[in-house]
Chain A
Amino acid sequence: MSSIFRNFKTKSAQAKPLFKYTFNRIFLIASWIPVLYVIHEHVFHIGKIEGISMKPTFNPTANIRDHVLLWKWNVKRPETLKQNDVVFLRSPINPELIYIKRIKGQQGDLITPRYPDTRSKVLIPTGHVWVEGDNVHSIDSNTYGPVSTGLVIGKVGYIVWPLNRIGPVPDGGRECRISMLRNQGLGYGGLGGELTDLGEFGDDHDDKN
């Protein structure tokens, strides 16, 4: 019984400096903001996808913006970036913009680019990757060439929104490494380096697509 009275007394004594109490609480909560910032910058982050360059993998419907879990730790090394990873990267054309593309070739690979790149093959230098959007109408490495992995901001792990598409990132895009195209017997011949009969990896302007 006496303990109840004791608690009641001390609590009312604490109620007086209300301003100091709220200020302390706000300061306590705010002191976690730098930690959250560091985690947001260097560990992971929920990223929103805008644009159509990764259709149909992301943003297949016009009015829903996909959100993804973006993994940012140790992601600027060429070893952590694997083929077919979707990455967020700083644009080589304008460093204030962030692009979302899929890695289609790593350092040392020989790549067959497509329009608007007119070369028949491209060798990817050390520390660079070849990125392409899943959509045919995307501005990607075929415009600006191989991209240094130092420009990569994060790797997409899972789709977290909308709820009916939660899960790992589906595969997409075309195979453009010459070594893989050769192994599949799809013919890389001709004096001009034309690709012959690539089936489903062929020209996206085909009628059957």
Chain B
Amino acid sequence: MDIRIMGRETLRVFTNAVKAAALIHLFSTNFFQFNETSGDSMLPTLQVSRDFCIVDKRYRYGRGLRVGDVIMARKPSMPEQWVCKRITGMPGDIILIDPSKDTLSNLQLDGDEENLKLKELKTKEEQENQKNFDQYVIIPEGHCWVTGDNLSHSIDSRTYSVLPLGLISGKLIYGWYIPSFFNFKQHYLRKMDNSDLDIDIDIDNEL
């Protein structure tokens, strides 16, 4: 009789655990989610490591997103990976892709170890870089343009082109830097840009 009661109790604990996990998952998929970020592509907005974020999932699939929002999305070329970038273009915008592309290849280190400086080469390669100012893209319907805040160390839309809005899973509203869990003084919770705005602005009246 003991074993039967233990068995029934274990089953009850197990089913309650499954129900609780499902409820937490439902909440974190549709409302708010707590995630860890890593990488230097969003400096200084997000730190390289130990920076966590709270994602508002009500903005998934591009609902109510504007230019300037920091979003979390799947990478188009590798959908198991998640990327955290800032929207810098919405459908219909004309984007200049990357005027700084390959410009650093023209710079050369000059001088000895103590007085190292960059000497700019004025070769015809530099003149060729002017063509970077001619590469534009018009963002099609249902897509957006994302860039990391740390442009020199970010793989974003300048590499994989426009991002479909269907891949976006939410908007970052808070960043939470947690260097060590128990040392609460060092925690740093801050609001991300645009997280206060949830009013609709009438574009026609603005102009």
Contact = CB atoms under 8 A, between A and B. Distances in A.
B22 A96 contact: no
Interface in A1-57: 31-32, 34-35, 37-38, 41
Contact of A35 (B22, B79, B80, B167): B22
Contacts of B78: 126-127
B77 A92 contact: no
Contacts of B140: 93
Pick from B19, B77, B140 the residue with the most CB of A within 10 Å: B77
B168 to A, nearest CB: 8
A58 B172 CA distance: 40
Given A90-B166, A148-B164, A38 B76 contact: no
A93 B167 contact: no
A128 interface: yes
Contact of B77 (A31, A93, A125): A125
B62 interface: yes
B142 A93 contact: yes
Given A76-B79, A127-B78, A150-B76, A41 B29 contact: yes
Nearest to A42: B25
A95 B25 CA distance: 22
A92 B164 contact: yes
Given A41-B29, A93-B141, A93-B142, A148 B62 contact: no
Given A90-B61, A95-B165, A150 B26 contact: no
Interface in B111-165: 140-143, 164-165
B145 to A, nearest CB: 15
Contacts of B141: 93-94
Interface in A84-98: 90-96
A148 B77 contact: yes
Contacts of A95: 61-62, 142, 164-166, 168
Interface band, chain B: 20 to 34
A151 B164 contact: yes
Given A35-B18, A38-B22, A91 B166 contact: yes
B74 interface: yes
Contacts of B26: 34, 37-38
Given A77-B79, A90-B61, A125-B77, A37 B167 contact: no
B189 interface: no
A112 interface: no
B43 interface: no
B142 A150 contact: no
Interface of A: 31-32, 34-35, 37-38, 41, 76-78, 90-96, 125-128, 147-151
29 contacts: A31-B19, A32-B19, A34-B19, A34-B25, A37-B26, A38-B22, A76-B74, A76-B79, A76-B80, A77-B80, A91-B142, A91-B166, A93-B140, A95-B61, A95-B62, A95-B166, A95-B168, A125-B77, A127-B75, A127-B77, A127-B79, A148-B79, A148-B167, A149-B79, A150-B76, A150-B79, A150-B164, A150-B166, A151-B164
Given A150-B166, A151-B166, 6 more contacts: A90-B61, A90-B164, A91-B166, A92-B164, A94-B142, A150-B79
